[in-house]
Amino acid sequence: MKKPLLVLFDGNALIHRAFHAMPPLTVRQTGEMVSAVYGFALMLLKVINELKPTHYAIAFDMKGPTFRHELFAQYKAQRPPTPDELVAQLGRVRQLVESFHIPIFELEGFEADDLLGTLSQQASGQDIDTIIITGDADTMQLVSPRVKVLYPKPRRAFSDTTLYDFSIFSTSMVHSVTRAAKAPSAASSGATRIVTAAAGAPTESGISSTVRPS
């Protein structure tokens, strides 16, 4: 029997990285910008074909403040607004994800990485390895003996990636990584409760088969 592998996609982070990494691409007939959609599709197909996961899901950020804004009002206040050309492509990426029947996780008041951390911890508790696909370097804090991170190489082709695992961290980093990996569950039991109630989520009896590629 094939060893189970859960692959989690960091939706917003990958879309942003694809948008900035890919050259401008448009639909000839309409002029619609689709560079981020194309880059995201390339990564999606690469991961499915090469990693051949038994389970997969994707997490997206939701609009509006998160619990971090309640803790620190200036959280991400200096971040520039998302370009209109990118905003217009978010819906197309969601259509792509839905066409692959990939379960989508999002929760008001939390970011995608909170859900990724929650799902990967639940999987680890059931002896299931996880690979998180992301364009956000902060996700490295979730790396553990059972969680790896696949990250696009800077200034290289978007599909040119590096797989980070627990062995790359020095002993001095282990404790900080472990503490950080607990952040999603510490953020709120509500995040875990909502996630486990959603279709295709990890449950007490095991990872649901609905997150399995068809």
* pLDDT for residue 61: 84
Residue type, 30: T
Backbone dihedral region for residue 26 (phi beyond 0: left; psi -120 to 50: alpha; all else: beta): beta
* CA dist., res. 197 & res. 91, Å (int): 24
| DSSP conformation letters of 96-116 | HHHHTT--EE--TTS-HHHHH
Separation of alpha carbons 214 and 208, rounded Å: 13
The pLDDT score that the predictor gives to residue 14 is 93
CATH architecture for segment(s) 5-211: 3-Layer(aba) Sandwich (3.40)
pLDDT of residue 172: 40
* Alpha-carbon distances, residue 98 vs 37, 112, 113, 197, 202 (angstroms): 13, 17, 20, 19, 19
Residue 107's pLDDT is what? 81
pLDDT beneath 70, residues of the chain: 64-80, 154-159, 168-214
Position 23 scores a pLDDT of 87
Q: What is the pLDDT of residue 195?
A: 35
Task: Specify the pTM.
Answer: 0.74
Q: What is the pLDDT of residue 161?
A: 84
